[in-house]
Chain A
Amino acid sequence: MKKADLVASAVLAILSVYLMVKSMELPIGWLEGEGPGGGAFPFWLSAGMLICCVFIFIRNLRRKSPEGQSTEIFMDRESARLFLTVLVSLSVMIGLIHIVGIYISIPLFFIFYMRHLGKHPWPLVLAISLSAPVLTFVFFEKLLLILLPKGITEEWFYIFY
């Protein structure tokens, strides 16, 4: 935990500096007759973030904070593997929406998740994977009138409108 906390505060400090620099695209000082410039609010808050990060880092190094004394590990191997599998499959699902649309990518995601991670029997997996896109379509597109991305499958849906 100690190491992870140190790395995190360093990364967040860099993020804060980036946000400060980015805020400077707009005036950060006082504009006569206009009040504070458009960049002032984010700039000074990012500066505050930076100060917090620096202190978190220093307190950790001097072992003054609970994180600085913690010997607990951030994530064990097994958890990390599960975590990465979930994260990658989720990203692939979202990526596939761009190409094959949401109605192909949702069932694929269900099949992978329930079969690979859940080890559920095929009939159950297929029942849920195939009913999910139908329910999504009926609820969002028909009931709430929100059109969802369909990628190359766009034409298949013309008959429904």
Chain B
Amino acid sequence: MELLGHLYDGFAVTLTPFNLTMLVLGVSVGLFVGAMPGLGSVNGVAILLPATFAIGEASPTSAIIFLCALYYGAMYGGAISSIMLGIPGASTAVATTFDGRPMAIKGEAEKALIAAAAASFFGGTVSVVLFTLFAPPLADFALRFGPPEEFALMVMAFATFVGLGSESILKTLFAIAFGLVLSSVGLDIISGRPRLIFGEITGFMHGINFLVLAIGIYGIGEILWTIESTKGKVTVSQAKVTLRSIVTTVKSLRSCIGTMTFGALLGYFVGILPAAGATPGSLMAYGMAKNFSKTPEKFGTGIVEGVVAPEAANNAASTGSMLPMLTLGIPGSPTTAILLGGMIIWGLTPGPNLFVEEEEFVWGLISSLYVANAAALVLNIAFIPLFMTVLRLPFTILAPIIFVLCVVGGYAPTTTMHDVWLMLIFGLGGYLLRKLEYPVAPIVLAIVLGPLAEQSMRQSLIMALGSPVIFFERPLSLMFMIFAIMLFILPLAKKYFTVRNKNKR
């Protein structure tokens, strides 16, 4: 009952005219960003976070509503270019191309688009309800955490990249360490002395702003990447959406409820893990739907089940990734890592205390997810013709616009040109690292979590007079550490068993 009261208060916050405007604006921008090939929620949130500073300082709730609505909208939008172009609008919509594109080629584009939107709405709603139920008890539990638990939890978050990531383990470890080192540039939090001031440039005294890195990698770097991958010409499929096609498609989805529910649940739980997220979540949902299907051979030829499973999963995953961000202060995805950094800039301390001290913010955010989900469904279907035009927009117009937005966005937080140059360097570096198959998501997560990780580690060590045993003495931190160690060993164990099986044969 208390929960309903909180939700009621939350809706009162979300439904004020200003917040509602921000929400609709966020969803629209998100749909647009998601629909653009190559750009996804993380790029949109990184590039547009600086634009929310003025709002965020006055009302963090309005700013987060805008950005979360954008996050949501992008999950819907990703399906549009997957279906119409056959190019995933964002990595989170890769799995949607498998059956979405064949459907469009068969002339069922509008059916695929409507099914994708309806499945996104379904997945989103299921996951937001789960979020509402899980978040308060989890935050309550996390209130008991001291520095050792916080540190152990972060070690576990990084360990998920090693245990569950798809890139080379060595390269993943390198990326984590590199991000953490970058986060330690500036003043040492405990002694107050400057450190890692490269070339004695005073610009490094205030540290490396995570946004400069995020915009560099997800703005500049991403566009450099896309320029190379979209050199070829693409063809846009045609679709005409009528009220009748909406009704018949939604009715036909009744047979897919099981697939969608399964996709939503899977996506939600995969989304909670920091290393996994909407992309693996939707791929897994597609794979599972195929495995459990009575007609697996039809997958890939253009069937509705192949569209609804990943679409329900990627929306559910985006909500899932917000759960640890809001309750534990550990982001579940690169996008939420940037949101977390934004919350710090707006003057909030992420973590369980939010549920005690910032009730308006937390419940406003949660209820906005319900509204954003509905808004995205309506806007998505209503503006399908508009998105067709957007998809025809040449990249040589879009790319310079995004570059300029990145430059202004990199300048805005600190108003120094130092940060703009640094952003360019990170953009280039991020692009090269990505090309060499170094994962970049752990770098972004590490630079956001770095200062918190170092602080909790040093506080714990001071508490224990220098003995690292403290992390293994307290029951909760011991549990996290055991999980972390298991995740670190997982890839080695997997390798050992595959080698042994090979030898047996």
Contact = CB atoms under 8 A, between A and B. Distances in A.
Interface of A: 4-5, 8, 12, 19, 22-23, 25-26, 30, 34-39, 41-42, 45-46, 48-49, 52-53, 55-56, 59, 65-67, 74-75, 79, 82-83, 86-87, 90-91, 93-94, 97-98, 102, 106, 109-110, 113-114, 117-120, 128, 132, 136, 139-140, 143-149
A120 B170 contact: no
A23 B195 contact: yes
Contact of A22 (B168, B196, B432): B196
27 contacts: A8-B432, A22-B196, A26-B188, A34-B190, A36-B458, A38-B188, A38-B195, A41-B184, A41-B458, A48-B173, A48-B177, A66-B168, A87-B224, A90-B403, A91-B424, A94-B417, A102-B407, A102-B411, A110-B400, A114-B400, A118-B397, A120-B394, A132-B404, A139-B51, A146-B53, A146-B415, A148-B408
Interface string B428-445: 100011011100000000
B191 A12 contact: no
Contacts of A139: 51
A143 B53 CA distance: 11
Given A23-B195, A56-B171, A114 B53 contact: no
Given A45-B177, A49-B174, A114-B397, A56 B168 contact: yes
Nearest to A110: B400
A97 B423 CA distance: 15
A38 B187 CA distance: 9
A110 B407 CA distance: 13
A5 to B, nearest CB: 6
Given A26-B188, A65-B168, A49 B181 contact: yes
Given A36-B458, A120-B397, A144 B196 contact: no
Contact of A94 (B168, B174, B228, B421): B421
B417 A67 contact: no
B389 interface: no
Interface in B447-480: 454, 457-458, 461-462, 466
Interface centre among A12, A119, A120 (most CB of B within 10 A): A12
B67 interface: no
Contact of A56 (B51, B170, B421): B170
Contact of A90 (B171, B191, B424): B424
A94 B286 CA distance: 44
Given A56-B171, A83-B228, A93 B407 contact: yes
B343 interface: no
A128 B433 CA distance: 33
Interface residues of B, number: 55
A109 B53 CA distance: 26
Contact of A114 (B198, B396, B421, B462): B396
Contact of A38 (B191, B198, B411, B432): B191
Contacts of A120: 394, 396-397
A36 B191 CA distance: 10
Given A38-B191, A147-B415, A102 B408 contact: yes
Contact of B195 (A42, A113, A145): A42
B412 interface: yes
B412 A132 contact: no
Contact of A45 (B53, B180, B191, B461): B180
Nearest to B192: A38
A14 to B, nearest CB: 13
B420 interface: yes
B228 A118 contact: no
B201 to A, nearest CB: 13
Contacts of A65: 168
A44 B226 CA distance: 36
Contacts of B505: none
